[in-house]
């Protein structure tokens, strides 16, 4: 994906929140062996690009959206652009445009997923202290009974 040689205004790094997304700009995600860039306008992702750093395989559009990975170790950078620069970048990266823009919530949901969200989504509860004590006592009684 072509980006300007001089970095635009850097607005945030780290955990992503909807309030940190500019009206016009791009989001850069570095996660392990993947680098992803998303062009954002009015809370919608309008273009996507992904690069697998190891194989140097580039993907565009919906395929790139599917390859986006956001983990707690990911480095997320958000850049604000002016309308002219944004239009230029969109024109130069025509192959990256999505057939239908995606809501920015797609990315925020990926970035905000934490352990508690996953546990509640799959209705898994953490074992209580009593549960662990019961398991240990049960285990000790089986071992001691041999």
Using alpha carbons, select from 51, 114, 43 the residue that is nearest to residue 78. 43
Q: What is the pLDDT of residues 66-112, one digit of tens each?
A: 888 877 777 888 888 888 888 888 898 889 998 888 887 766 666 55
- Percent of the chain's residues with pLDDT above 70: 75
Asked whether the whole model's pTM tops 0.75, one would answer: no
pLDDT at 5: 54
Q: Where are the beta strands (DSSP E) in the chain?
A: 9-13, 24-31, 34-41, 44-52, 57-60, 75-80, 97-103
Q: What is the pLDDT of residues 46-56, one digit of tens each?
A: 999 999 988 99
* pLDDT band for position 8 (cuts 50, 70, 90): low
Output Rg (C-alpha) for the chain, integer angstroms: 21
pLDDT at 108: 66
pLDDT at 69: 80
In what helix (H) or strand (E) does residue 67 lie, and over which residues does it extend? helix 61-67
d(CA 6, CA 89): 13
Q: What is the DSSP letter of 13?
A: E
Q: Would you kindly state where each structural domain of the chain is located, as residue ranges?
A: 9-113
The label of the residue with tokens 């919608």 reads 44
pLDDT at 102: 83
Identify the three-state secondary structure at position 16.
coil
d(CA 48, CA 50): 7
pLDDT at 41: 93
Q: How far apart are the first and last CA of the chain?
A: 66
Mean pLDDT of 17-35: 84
> Do 105 and 17 touch, CB atoms closer than 8 A?
no
Instruction: Kindly tell me if the per-residue pLDDT of 33 is higher than 90.
Output: no
């Amino acid at each position: 994906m072509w980006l300007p040689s001089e970095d635009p205004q850097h607005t945030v790094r780290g955990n992503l929140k909807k309030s940190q997304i500019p009206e016009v700009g791009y989001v850069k995600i570095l996660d392990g062996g993947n680098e992803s860039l998303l062009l954002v306008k009015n809370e919608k992702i309008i273009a996507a690009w992904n690069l697998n750093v190891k194989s140097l395989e580039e993907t565009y559009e919906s395929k790139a959206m599917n390859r986006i990975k956001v983990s707690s170790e990911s480095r997320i950078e958000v850049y604000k652009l002016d309308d002219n620069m944004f239009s230029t970048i969109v024109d130069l990266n025509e192959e990256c445009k999505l057939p239908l823009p995606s809501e920015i919530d797609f990315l925020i949901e990926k970035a905000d997923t934490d352990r508690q969200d996953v546990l509640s989504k799959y209705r898994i509860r953490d074992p209580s202290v009593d549960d662990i004590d019961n398991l240990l006592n049960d285990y000790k009684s089986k071992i001691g009974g041999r």
